[in-house]
A and B are shown apart, each in its own frame.
Chain A
Amino acid sequence: MPTLLKRILSAILILLVLFAVDSFMSAQGLFGFGAPPYYARIVMLAGINVILAVSLNLITGFTGQFSIGHAGFMAIGAYSSAYLTVYHAQVWERSLAGIVGGGVAHALIFLLAILVGGLVAAITGLIVGIPSLRLRGDYLAIVTLGFAEIIRIVILNIDKVGGATGFSVPGYTNFVWVGGFAILTVVIVYNIVHSDVGRALVSIREDELAAEAMGVNTTRYKVLSFVISSALAGVAGVLFAHYTQFLSTNDFQFIRSFEIIIMVVLGGMGSLTGAVLGAIIITVLPELLRTLGPKLESGLGYVIGAGNIPPGVHAFLGDLANYRLVIFAALLIIIMLTRPQGVLGTREFGFSWLKRAQRRPEGDLAVGSKGVPIAERKPSVIDQEKDNENR
């Protein structure tokens, strides 16, 4: 079976690459050529955000259901798996290490934690999804937001997982796990989108009533995509918990849900690579803005002479770091106003970009049935009338 062989080979290749990058990023680095921990941390967080953004894209970008509760599912995954690794896993790992060796036991236990985190998040997603996905549009948004807040408040009330003080968690996550699951998430979502299920999901996004009329069980498909999306968010939560090694409910407030949405929207709803790009931008940008002021000032000093910088400009650039979040928000609005379909729209970014002249990338044909990103589409006359009648 050549395809199977090919897949196994490519999986091994990816793992090798991941291990290489991981050893490069770990504290000592590869032969002393390690990445600085600060950059390594940003790369890790970017990887976790990729999982979050791509999984949210399944429900928001491809199914067209606006969920703002992703942080809640992330929290569920993080806390449930941390409960396992803090209270039970050490014992299991020790007894398992006697059978299969320390390293393998370590990995197996973490895999178990990931499965548990993903599973608990999926079950929560099912419980939340079944009732709330009967609702449409904005109602779903507010209900998911509400559920995420309820989840956070419930966790805050459980002293066993640290309550308000926070919860110290053993470290398990390394780049192999984060990179591996980021790729796996992309593969899973890609395969779903390019299957029968995916076509059903896109049909729901394009016109829910028409989809239902064509025999698509819309509630079932919406719940399915919601559960998968929640499970993947849970996995991201597990990786996050065992990377930062400290959990606090302050890290799962709705600002994080907003951030994940911004990643998806920025990259383009309905674009896989867009979500990946969005996740990377949203992780890196605020950090870049930290050092932007001094860098601009030294650049300006180079051009007009360090002594010639007016004091007002100097004060402004010195203050720039304080305006980091303002710039961030302004950027979001500007992108929405100038490119409402996101940076990539529903297009996919890949090697084919380089050969754009010859053919259009695959993504458009497979995903955007009308060839126009949904955000760009003006409502048709029928759409408008439908909208009006619904009022």
Chain B
Amino acid sequence: MKRILVSLVLMTSLLASFACERRGGIGGDSNVGVIRVGYYGDLSGRTSNFGVSTKNGVMMAADEINKAGGINGRQIEILSEDDEGRPEKAATVVTKLIDQDKVIALLGEVASGNSLAAAPKAQASHVPMISPSSTNPAVTAVGDYIFRVCFIDPFQGEVMAKFAANTLKAKKAAIMQDFNAPYSRGLTEFFEASFVKLGGQIVTKQSYTQGDRDYKGQLTSIRSLNPDVIYVPGYYGEVGVIAKQAKQLGITQPLLGGDGWDAPQLWELGGDALNGDYISNHYSVEDPSPAIQKFVNDFKGRYKIVPDALAALGYDAMRVLADAIKRGGTTEGPKLRDAIAATKDFAGVTGVISINGERNAVKPAVVLKLQDGKYIYQETIKP
């Protein structure tokens, strides 16, 4: 008994003393040398496609900046950690990046739940964090070091509700949400609120979860209620199949979606069944503007795939950070935070980004129509 106790205490103190490795190089001049930026995301879990795609965008932006001579002559080094898509691990790797790797800023996460778990660590250590694509409003509310470069759920939900009610003249809408994803739940909530305010009616709300294999049960229920449009604010992996199974059931009404639809695989999964559907997005790959076309071509050359919205947002997040370091002339936490907060009219590939008082990006959304593997521009809806 006593032995066990003593050995327990001993083991604990042993672990703690192992932990007591002296920190090296504290307080070195933070304005020279390599700029270390931490990236964290799901690189091996169920949502790792999002994490990997974002990382690709971040890496490409960093390499471009380095090739062009770095920021004020300093090179960027990206340190990337995998959080397996688990909130607990997200907080752990962010602690590691800040504490062990001494990163000056963090980029991540995609999923709002993981960003929410990690953001308090960044806030407490005064290390600025830019989330490329966590759209839940609560993320940046964590503190004044937390930013994002994407629009937030209320705006995107509203965009599609406006489009459905005003442009498509829809009166009845059905919703099919990914119940496990805060992203999808957020869009559903705000779409519903806006659509009802605009005089529409939500006839049914169905749910699925990521990894489901069959959606015909929900779609059959929706079919029996005969809505004008079906809002499916999910991720492309499921949405492609949902569109296909909807067509198999003879559902001809357009599906409406969000930026989660945007990925090259969407067309492989959904094919022709996607024709006539609409999505709201940050940007359009088809946009003829030279900046976007250069990004799309460079990305294709580097990774052999068309960049999705997440890659574009990762790319923009890195460039917004680089821009802030350049303007602020420093990588010290508080000053860098102020520089990021002062971002105004930054020309990103996902639109012109200005950071507002809530540390959210204010930028317009575009509505695109899906037709034969192409996204056809419909209209731009401003905040």
Contacts of B30 in A (CB 8 A): none
User: How far does the Cβ of B116 sit from chain A's closest Cβ, in whole Å?
Assistant: 5
Task: Report Cα–Cα, A212/B328, bound state, in Å.
Answer: 76
B72 at the interface (CB under 8 A from A): no
Contacts of A42 in B (CB 8 A): 19, 92
Task: Report Cα–Cα, A387/B200, bound state, in Å.
Answer: 65
> Across the interface, do A246 and B87 meet the contact criterion of CB distance under 8 Å?
yes
B352 at the interface (CB under 8 A from A): no
A17 at the interface (CB under 8 A from B): yes
A349 at the interface (CB under 8 A from B): yes
Contacts of A186 in B (CB 8 A): 4-5, 8
Could you say which of B78-86, B222-230, B257-265, B342-350 contacts chain A? B78-86
B100 at the interface (CB under 8 A from A): yes
Contacts of A349 in B (CB 8 A): 7
B64 at the interface (CB under 8 A from A): no
> Across the interface, do B19 and A43 meet the contact criterion of CB distance under 8 Å?
yes
B354 at the interface (CB under 8 A from A): no
Residue in contact with A37 in the complex, picked from B84, B95, B112, CB distance below 8 Å = B95
Q: Quick one: CB contact mask for B86-118 with A, threshold 8 Å, 1 for yes?
A: 111001110110111000000000001100110
Contacts of B84 in A (CB 8 A): 325
> Across the interface, do B96 and A190 meet the contact criterion of CB distance under 8 Å?
no
Could you say which of B9-17, B161-169, B212-220 contacts chain A? B9-17
Could you say which of A164-172, A221-229, A376-384 contacts chain B? A164-172
B1, closest chain A residue (CB): A190
Pick from B2, B93, B96, B186 the residue with the most CB of A within 10 Å.
Answer: B96
Q: Quick one: CB contact mask for A320-359 with B, threshold 8 Å, 1 for yes?
A: 0110110000000000000000000000111110000000
A120 at the interface (CB under 8 A from B): no
A349, closest chain B residue (CB): B7
Could you say which of B177-185, B308-316, B333-341 contacts chain A? B177-185
> Across the interface, do A165 and B4 meet the contact criterion of CB distance under 8 Å?
no
Given A244-B87, A251-B88, A325-B44, do A273 and B82 touch, yes or no (CB 8 Å)?
Answer: no
Task: Report Cα–Cα, A27/B91, bound state, in Å.
Answer: 16
Residue in contact with A41 in the complex, picked from B15, B95, B179, CB distance below 8 Å = B95
Contacts of A143 in B (CB 8 A): none
Q: Quick one: CB contact mask for B55-90 with A, threshold 8 Å, 1 for yes?
A: 000000000000000000000000001101111100
Contacts of B6 in A (CB 8 A): 350-351
A67 at the interface (CB under 8 A from B): no
B119, closest chain A residue (CB): A246
User: How far does the Cβ of A294 sit from chain B's closest Cβ, in whole Å?
Assistant: 10
A163 at the interface (CB under 8 A from B): yes
B21 at the interface (CB under 8 A from A): yes
User: How far does the Cβ of B189 sit from chain A's closest Cβ, in whole Å?
Assistant: 10
Q: Quick one: CB contact mask for B122-141 with A, threshold 8 Å, 1 for yes?
A: 00110000000000101000
User: How far does the Cβ of B118 sit from chain A's closest Cβ, in whole Å?
Assistant: 9
Task: Report Cα–Cα, A40/B21, bound state, in Å.
Answer: 11
User: How far does the Cβ of A316 sit from chain B's closest Cβ, in whole Å?
Assistant: 17
> Across the interface, do B181 and A164 meet the contact criterion of CB distance under 8 Å?
yes
B292 at the interface (CB under 8 A from A): no
Residue in contact with B99 in the complex, picked from A38, A249, A321, CB distance below 8 Å = A38
> Across the interface, do A321 and B100 meet the contact criterion of CB distance under 8 Å?
no
Task: Report Cα–Cα, A349/B93, bound state, in Å.
Answer: 32
Residue in contact with B116 in the complex, picked from A21, A36, A165, A348, CB distance below 8 Å = A165
A195 at the interface (CB under 8 A from B): no
> Across the interface, do A251 and B87 meet the contact criterion of CB distance under 8 Å?
yes
Task: Report Cα–Cα, A322/B86, bound state, in Å.
Answer: 16
> Across the interface, do B7 and A350 meet the contact criterion of CB distance under 8 Å?
yes
B120 at the interface (CB under 8 A from A): yes
B382 at the interface (CB under 8 A from A): no
A363, closest chain B residue (CB): B4
Task: Report Cα–Cα, A168/B182, bound state, in Å.
Answer: 14
Residue in contact with A21 in the complex, picked from B13, B23, B124, CB distance below 8 Å = B13
Chain A interface category by residue count: 35 or more
A90 at the interface (CB under 8 A from B): no
User: How far does the Cβ of A35 sit from chain B's closest Cβ, in whole Å?
Assistant: 4
Task: Report Cα–Cα, A287/B83, bound state, in Å.
Answer: 11
Contacts of A250 in B (CB 8 A): 85-87, 113
B3 at the interface (CB under 8 A from A): yes
Contacts of B37 in A (CB 8 A): none
Task: Report Cα–Cα, A183/B7, bound state, in Å.
Answer: 11
Given A37-B95, A163-B185, A349-B7, do A245 and B180 touch, yes or no (CB 8 Å)?
Answer: no
Pick from B4, B91, B182 the residue with the most CB of A within 10 Å.
Answer: B4
> Across the interface, do B5 and A183 meet the contact criterion of CB distance under 8 Å?
yes
Contacts of A276 in B (CB 8 A): 8, 11
Contacts of A168 in B (CB 8 A): 116, 138
Residue in contact with B20 in the complex, picked from A33, A37, A290, CB distance below 8 Å = A33
B317 at the interface (CB under 8 A from A): no
A234 at the interface (CB under 8 A from B): no
Task: Report Cα–Cα, A210/B13, bound state, in Å.
Answer: 44
Task: Report Cα–Cα, A50/B117, bound state, in Å.
Answer: 22
Task: Report Cα–Cα, A183/B13, bound state, in Å.
Answer: 13
A321, closest chain B residue (CB): B82
Task: Report Cα–Cα, A351/B4, bound state, in Å.
Answer: 8
Contacts of A156 in B (CB 8 A): 179-180
A217 at the interface (CB under 8 A from B): no
CB-based closest 6 A-B pairs: A39-B19, A350-B3, A165-B182, A38-B99, A35-B19, A246-B117
6 A/B residue pairs, CB under 8 Å, sorted by A: A21-B16, A38-B96, A39-B19, A39-B20, A183-B5, A280-B15
Taking Cβ atoms with an 8 Å cutoff, the residues of A that contact B are: 10, 14, 17, 21, 24-25, 27, 33, 35-43, 45-47, 156, 163-166, 168, 179, 182-183, 186-187, 190, 240, 244-246, 248-251, 272-273, 276, 280, 287, 290, 321-322, 324-325, 348-352, 362
> 8 new A-B pairs (CB below 8 Å) besides A46-B15, A163-B182?
A17-B9, A25-B16, A36-B19, A37-B99, A43-B12, A43-B19, A321-B82, A322-B43
Taking Cβ atoms with an 8 Å cutoff, the residues of B that contact A are: 1-9, 11-13, 15-16, 18-21, 23, 43-44, 81-82, 84-88, 91-93, 95-96, 98-100, 112-113, 116-117, 120, 124-125, 136, 138, 179-182, 185-186
